[in-house]
Amino acid sequence: MKTFSIDIPDSVDLDQKELKMALASKLYERGKLSLGQAADMAGYSRQTFMELLADYGVDLINYSAEELQSDINNAEKYSL
Protein backbone atom coordinates (compact mmCIF):
# COMPACT_ATOMS: atom_id res chain seq x y z
CA MET A 1 0.00 0.00 0.00
CA LYS A 2 1.25 3.47 -0.86
CA THR A 3 1.45 6.22 1.71
CA PHE A 4 1.47 9.90 0.81
CA SER A 5 2.00 12.96 2.91
CA ILE A 6 0.25 16.17 1.84
CA ASP A 7 0.09 19.64 3.28
CA ILE A 8 -3.39 21.10 3.69
CA PRO A 9 -3.85 24.76 4.59
CA ASP A 10 -4.99 25.37 8.15
CA SER A 11 -7.99 27.24 6.76
CA VAL A 12 -9.39 23.97 5.36
CA ASP A 13 -11.52 22.38 8.03
CA LEU A 14 -10.98 18.65 7.36
CA ASP A 15 -10.15 15.85 9.71
CA GLN A 16 -8.32 12.72 8.57
CA LYS A 17 -11.52 10.64 8.31
CA GLU A 18 -13.22 13.20 6.07
CA LEU A 19 -10.13 13.56 3.89
CA LYS A 20 -9.95 9.78 3.41
CA MET A 21 -13.63 9.69 2.46
CA ALA A 22 -13.24 12.54 -0.02
CA LEU A 23 -10.27 10.89 -1.69
CA ALA A 24 -11.78 7.39 -1.68
CA SER A 25 -15.07 8.62 -3.14
CA LYS A 26 -13.29 10.48 -5.93
CA LEU A 27 -11.10 7.48 -6.77
CA TYR A 28 -14.20 5.28 -6.82
CA GLU A 29 -16.00 7.76 -9.07
CA ARG A 30 -13.08 7.76 -11.52
CA GLY A 31 -12.98 3.95 -11.57
CA LYS A 32 -9.56 3.73 -9.90
CA LEU A 33 -10.93 1.79 -6.91
CA SER A 34 -13.66 -0.80 -6.58
CA LEU A 35 -16.45 -0.15 -4.11
CA GLY A 36 -14.84 -2.48 -1.56
CA GLN A 37 -11.39 -0.96 -1.97
CA ALA A 38 -12.76 2.56 -1.59
CA ALA A 39 -14.78 1.59 1.49
CA ASP A 40 -11.68 0.02 3.06
CA MET A 41 -9.59 3.08 2.25
CA ALA A 42 -12.17 5.38 3.84
CA GLY A 43 -12.48 3.13 6.89
CA TYR A 44 -16.17 2.32 6.45
CA SER A 45 -18.20 -0.78 5.73
CA ARG A 46 -19.37 -1.12 2.13
CA GLN A 47 -22.94 -0.29 3.18
CA THR A 48 -21.95 2.87 5.03
CA PHE A 49 -19.63 3.95 2.21
CA MET A 50 -22.45 3.51 -0.32
CA GLU A 51 -24.74 5.64 1.84
CA LEU A 52 -22.11 8.38 2.21
CA LEU A 53 -21.34 8.65 -1.52
CA ALA A 54 -24.30 10.98 -2.07
CA ASP A 55 -22.83 13.42 0.46
CA TYR A 56 -19.82 13.72 -1.83
CA GLY A 57 -21.83 14.03 -5.04
CA VAL A 58 -20.80 10.58 -6.28
CA ASP A 59 -23.25 8.21 -7.93
CA LEU A 60 -23.19 4.62 -6.69
CA ILE A 61 -23.49 3.29 -10.24
CA ASN A 62 -21.11 4.86 -12.73
CA TYR A 63 -22.39 3.69 -16.09
CA SER A 64 -21.61 5.57 -19.24
CA ALA A 65 -24.53 6.12 -21.60
CA GLU A 66 -23.15 3.38 -23.86
CA GLU A 67 -22.85 0.86 -21.01
CA LEU A 68 -26.35 1.62 -19.83
CA GLN A 69 -27.78 1.23 -23.34
CA SER A 70 -25.94 -2.08 -23.72
CA ASP A 71 -27.45 -3.35 -20.47
CA ILE A 72 -30.92 -2.23 -21.55
CA ASN A 73 -30.51 -3.97 -24.90
CA ASN A 74 -29.39 -7.18 -23.19
CA ALA A 75 -32.29 -7.03 -20.75
CA GLU A 76 -34.76 -6.58 -23.59
CA LYS A 77 -33.17 -9.38 -25.60
CA TYR A 78 -33.30 -11.89 -22.76
CA SER A 79 -36.50 -10.85 -20.99
CA LEU A 80 -39.39 -13.26 -20.77
Q: How high is the pLDDT of residue 62?
A: 76
36 in a structural domain: yes
Residues 6-19 have a mean pLDDT of 90
Burial of 21 (0-12, 13-18, 19+ CB in 10 A): buried
Q: How high is the pLDDT of residue 2?
A: 86
9 in a structural domain: no
Residue 1 has pLDDT above 90, yes or no: no
Residue 56 has pLDDT above 80, yes or no: yes
Tell me the CA distances in angstroms from 7 to 24, 28, 36, 40, 67, one per residue in order. 18, 23, 27, 23, 38
Backbone angles phi, psi at 43, to 5 degrees: 85, 25
Task: Look at the chain and report how many structural domains it folds into.
Answer: 1
One-letter amino acid for residue 19 of the chain: L
3 in a structural domain: no
Would you say the pTM of this structure is higher than 0.85? no
Q: How confident is the model at residue 45 (pLDDT cuts 50, 70, 90)?
A: very high
Q: Which domain holds residue 26?
A: 16-78
20 in a structural domain: yes
How many Å apart are CA 58 and CA 5, to the nearest integer? 25
Q: How high is the pLDDT of residue 33?
A: 94
